[in-house]
A and B are shown apart, each in its own frame.
Chain A
Amino acid sequence: MHIPDGFLPPQVCLTGYALTGGLTWYSLNQIKKDPDIQANIPKASLLTAAFFVASLVSIPVPPTSVHLIFNGLMGAVLGYYAFPAILIGLFFQAVMFNHGGMSTLGVNAIIIGAPAIAGYHLFRQREHLQGKRQILTKALSFAAGAGALLISASMFAVLLITCISPDMDVHAERTAILLSLVGYSIQAVVEGLFSVMLISFLEQVKPELLKG
């Protein structure tokens, strides 16, 4: 779900950078409101590295295997720290593995980072909504994990297919987008289930990780 260099016109790349800049500024403002910012920066940094490393694990989903993106999960666990964390993670991936690109860093950050913030707000509703805590947590974890991935996948598919070539037939584009979304829906379900299991595990073993 990382767009490589050379695929997007410069206007899209610049818009991506502008939007990322804006959302980074907003996230940093929210982070600065944190009374315990000094302690939370090392926590967020180590969790960034942990999520980065965890996304390298390949989960078998026949006939192939997938690498999970964890953006919804990062939003649920890190809150507003998730956006800078995702930006840093993408930068490392672009520089170390050439997964994604330098010119498309802004676009990729919006595709993966913006749904993470949405995932955070969705997960936070468990404190405001009425209902049995356990069921609410599971439902919202699934929604955050799967929803964030679906939004990312839709943005990725639409952007890549519409921008890749000005001469492409509209019907071909639409078919390509629908086909890729079908594939990504499966990954979204896997991410949703994974998020439910992971958050249940964290609630049992280290609930203070989820309160940050």
Chain B
Amino acid sequence: MKLVLDRYAYLDSPVHRWQQSYKLIGLLSLIFAFAFVQNIWLLPIMVVITSILFTLSRIPVSFLIKRLRYPSWFILAVVFFLPFISGENIILQLGSLTLKEEGCWQALLISVRFFCILTVSLVMFGTAPFLSSIKAMRSLGLPSVIVDMSLLAYRYLEELSETLTTMQRAMKLRGFQPKGFTHRNLKVFSQLTGSILIRSYDRSLRIYQAMILRGYGSQTKIKKRQLKSTLVNSDRFSLIATSIAVITGICIMILELVLPSF
């Protein structure tokens, strides 16, 4: 299991040059504006905005399609069932099954919203190294406990995943074939999980000692001066880009409230 999200974080594009803390604010407001949309007329506008943003980021389309593959199964299931169970106006009758108009529009709304929000999330986190995103969240006020926990968890995620793979391989080499739901199989899985927990716990004790030797815990509060300095030394381009994104989000929400319903 490799974190492939920031594979394209080292490209050069206007979105890559957008400072991560500003990018998070701008694109998160865009995501919420998209989640706000209930009116079908706004869907083409959403798709156009998403396409422009994605094209500017220069992330390859194949990467987007690869990322969409796994969650699309869930969407497909819902989108397939919704036209048959939701709504009153019947547009097609197939034996005992009836295809309803409102269900079809709901299915379209959900799938387009899902696609647009997912693409914007990919642009948000895929155009900068993951650590920059966590640092940006820290500068925006995320509590230090959560920042420390996410940095450490991220750092050791891949190592623990490799440890798990090694342990599973060892189990297979010793003849473990989990074919059914038996007491023994469940016990073996629980002991596997227990071993991973114990190993990570023991590792954490050594990590903590290494951290305090390197000065962890000597600075307990984030100085408020740091927050101000990021605003003063801000990149003008980032500020403009964020303003555009936030204003676009607000316009979408206003249009949603003002436009006649479909």
Contact = CB atoms under 8 A, between A and B. Distances in A.
B14 to A, nearest CB: 21
Nearest to A65: B178
Interface residues of B, number: 83
B139 interface: no
A203 to B, nearest CB: 10
B85 A169 contact: yes
Contact of B149 (A7, A41, A172, A202): A41
A167 B86 contact: yes
A165 B153 contact: no
B204 A45 contact: yes
Interface in B123-150: 124-125, 130, 143, 145-146, 148-150
A95 B5 contact: yes
A43 B102 contact: no
B193 A54 contact: yes
Contacts of A48: 149, 153
Contacts of B207: 42, 46
Interface stretch (B28-36, B221-229, B230-238): B28-36
A129 interface: no
Nearest to A32: B145
Given A5-B35, A5-B118, A60-B185, A46 B125 contact: no
Interface residues of A, number: 70
A45 B114 CA distance: 31
Nearest to A38: B217
Nearest to B167: A57
A59 to B, nearest CB: 6
A7 B153 contact: no
A97 to B, nearest CB: 6
B208 interface: yes
B43 to A, nearest CB: 11
Interface string A102-116: 110000000000000
A31 B161 CA distance: 27
Contacts of A53: 1, 157, 160-161, 164, 196
B44 interface: no
A67 to B, nearest CB: 11
Nearest to B101: A167
Interface string B184-213: 011101111110111111011101100110
A42 B194 contact: no
B58 interface: no
A2 B201 CA distance: 27
A202 B197 contact: yes
A156 interface: no
Nearest to B201: A209
A61 B36 CA distance: 39
B22 to A, nearest CB: 17
Contacts of B198: 202, 205-206, 209
B12 interface: no
A156 to B, nearest CB: 12
Contacts of A139: none
A98 B32 contact: no
A77 interface: yes
A171 B69 CA distance: 32
The 4 A-B residue pairs with the shortest CB-CB distance, nearest first, are A6-B114, A6-B113, A45-B152, A197-B190
14 contacts: A5-B118, A31-B145, A37-B145, A46-B152, A46-B207, A47-B201, A50-B197, A50-B199, A57-B164, A88-B149, A88-B153, A92-B157, A102-B124, A206-B201
Interface of A: 4-10, 13-14, 24, 28, 31-32, 37-39, 41-54, 56-57, 59-62, 77, 81, 84-85, 87-89, 91-92, 94-99, 101-103, 164-165, 167-169, 172, 190, 193-194, 197-198, 201-202, 205-206, 209
Given A14-B32, A49-B157, A59-B186, 14 more contacts: A5-B31, A5-B35, A6-B115, A7-B114, A41-B145, A41-B152, A45-B151, A54-B197, A59-B189, A95-B125, A98-B121, A102-B121, A167-B106, A172-B85
